């Protein structure tokens, strides 16, 4: 599983870091400080919760098969 982040769209709510500062580090200004990462084994649930905590939905959960499981697709 991989987390992909639209870093430029971060508005600094820091809700992801409130879930896990280790997975979702912030810079000195309070914005996400990573474009993404491979989720360490055993931390999948924490990573999913951090992604879901983002109100802007700029954190994507990419499954091992390449599908995006979060955020949900917008209706067409």
User: pLDDT (tens digit, 9 = 90+) per residue, 30-66?
Assistant: 999 999 999 999 999 999 999 999 999 999 999 999 9
pTM of the entire predicted model: 0.93
CATH code, 23: 3.30.70.20
Report if residue 45 sits inside a domain. Answer: yes
Q: How far apart are CA 20 and CA 5, in angstroms?
A: 15
Report if residue 27 sits inside a domain. Answer: yes
Report if residue 58 sits inside a domain. Answer: yes
Report if residue 24 sits inside a domain. Answer: yes
Report if residue 31 sits inside a domain. Answer: yes
Report if residue 74 sits inside a domain. Answer: no
The pLDDT value recorded for residue 7 is 96
Residue 60 belongs to domain spanning:
2-69
Number of structural domains (the chain) is 1
Q: Residue 76: is its pLDDT beyond 90?
A: no
Report if residue 75 sits inside a domain. Answer: no
The pLDDT value recorded for residue 73 is 85
């Amino acid at each position: 599983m991989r987390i992909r982040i639209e870093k430029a769209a971060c508005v600094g709510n820091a809700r992801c870091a409130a879930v896990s500062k280790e997975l979702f580090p912030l810079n000195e200004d309070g914005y996400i400080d990573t474009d993404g990462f491979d989720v360490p084994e055993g931390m999948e649930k924490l990573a999913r919760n951090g992604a879901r905590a983002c109100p802007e939905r700029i954190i994507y959960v990419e499954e091992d098969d390449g599908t995006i499981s979060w955020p949900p697709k917008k209706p067409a």
